A and B are shown apart, each in its own frame.
Chain A
Amino acid sequence: MIDRGRVGPGLGELMPEFSLPDENGQLMSLSSLLRFGPAVISINRGHWCPYCRLELRSLAEIHNEIVRLGAGVISIMPDSARFTGSYVAQNDLPFPVLSDIDLGYSLLLGLIFWVGPEIQQLYKEAGVELEKYHGNQGYFLPMAAKFIVGRDGRVKARQVNIEFRERMEPQTLIATLQQLRIG
């Protein structure tokens, strides 16, 4: 079982519950997702992050296989529904993107960090307006991560991307879901 990065819920631990709005403003909870099957939960930095977009596109590509294995996918990011809505459409994402308003859930997971003044300046210069996307002035961001949560609510596999370019490879993800199916 994959277990990279020492922050966030550990293997075998219960994944904290959430109830967050999707791009249409409708609430989705972890427990309602798990009623259908295991869930792949992708914690993403924002619609502006090129690495997250690559991640989510690659999840979209293997989405059919994930569903065939009886599981579902959701992405959680700090951006409000204003931004996730067009993001889902533009990138043709077949799964919901939930808004982690005020990064409460990211804090609960222990995955939050503060974008210091130097990086804030760089973002602003690059046209990344975190204040606007988040609806607050905190300049907090989550560490990108993936959790595979079983129907029992426990973490079966996880990767927290301390180095933000790393990610859980699709093959690894599928292999974990296959094992869950058998087990």
Chain B
Amino acid sequence: MEMHQVRYFLAVARTLNFTRAAEECHVAQPSLTRAIKLLEGELGGDLFRRERPHAMLTPLGERMFPLLKQCYDRAQSARALAAMINDGEVGALKLAVSGSIELGLILSHVNELRKSFSEIELKILRGTGPQIVEYLKSGDAELAVGTSIGETWDRLDSWKLFDECFDIVLSRSHRLGSQETIDLDDLKPERFLLRNHCEKCGDLAAMLRTQGLNADHRHEVSSDQDLMTLLDANIGIGFLPRTVNAPQSLVRTTVKGLELERDVCLYGVAGRQRTPIAATFIKCCAPRTGKKGPVESYFNASVNSSIVMRLR
């Protein structure tokens, strides 16, 4: 059974007209008829009943239509994928990144992506956790980077990029700014700065409350830039994920009893077919446990085992 035979069959099944199908497939009608006859020979029966100028599907034809279409579509997309990879012609990577994540954190993955595609196009959208879920739902973004957004919508696939803890950040001129260690009691009279754009904001407030600290009368910001500005002016005490940079003028430390962690993950909508660039980006973001891709793993394993064989 060959691809062109299946293509012609699908064209006749769709148009119900041998002449029109031949035109669509850019072949002479006798060639198309001959190909369909070969297919009928292989399937052991007629696929069409000809009532000139029309053609009707026989019961066998009707049964085989969805099966052959499924197989053909799969082969077509394989062919298209190969062409895209080889020509370096790919669509854009549409990525929604949570406001609490610095873009620099995924740059190494983006660079990895550039090894597979000669030209890449990036479309970066920003938003809070709920906003980036909306981008995924609407298709404005194909993938998203954030934390804990899987908890708001269960139709997400996720791949963990890394986990990190939060530091306490305050101005050097704060009364606690030059203290060796800060403990919970020191923080009792303090007001905190919470980042609204951070998915962990709620958890943070809850943790403060549990430790008897002032969670309700607090400052709130919607960007890290604003956080730094306020901290610089010695307004409040803030929390920052370890990977988010802060100027040297601020003090970063940890406080026992105020431990908060987050998992930063890559997200995609479950069940949706991925574009080649998105599929490759997912592969590039595979957990950084030193795990190699499947091809590298296979070859490393083979080489190692053959070395062992020779040594024996």
* A interface residues (Cβ-Cβ under 8 A, vs B): 7, 16-19, 22, 24, 26-29, 31-33, 35-36, 63-64, 67-68, 72, 94-96, 101-105, 107-108, 110, 112-114, 116, 136-140
Contacts and interface: CB of A to CB of B under 8 A. Distances in A.
8 contacts: A17-B85, A24-B294, A64-B305, A94-B301, A95-B302, A104-B72, A107-B72, A107-B75
Interface string B22-54: 000000000000000000001110000000000
B79 interface: yes
Contacts of B299: 36, 67, 72
| Candidate in A24, A33, A104 with the most chain B CB atoms within 10 angstroms | A104
Nearest to B276: A19
A36 B293 CA distance: 13
Interface string B282-312: 0100000000011100110111011001000
| Majority-rule SS of B interface residues | helix
Interface of B: 1-3, 6, 42-44, 64, 67-68, 70-79, 81-82, 85-86, 279, 283, 293-295, 298-299, 301-303, 305-306, 309
Nearest to A102: B74
Given A19-B78, A116-B44, A108 B298 contact: no
A103 B298 contact: no
Nearest to B302: A67
B74 to A, nearest CB: 3
B1 A16 contact: no
B1 A113 contact: yes
B74 A63 contact: no
Contacts of A64: 302, 305-306, 309
Contact of A67 (B1, B67, B73, B303): B303
A27 B279 contact: yes
B67 A138 contact: yes
A17 B82 contact: yes
B36 to A, nearest CB: 14
Contacts of A16: 78-79, 82
A19 B303 contact: no
A32 B295 contact: yes
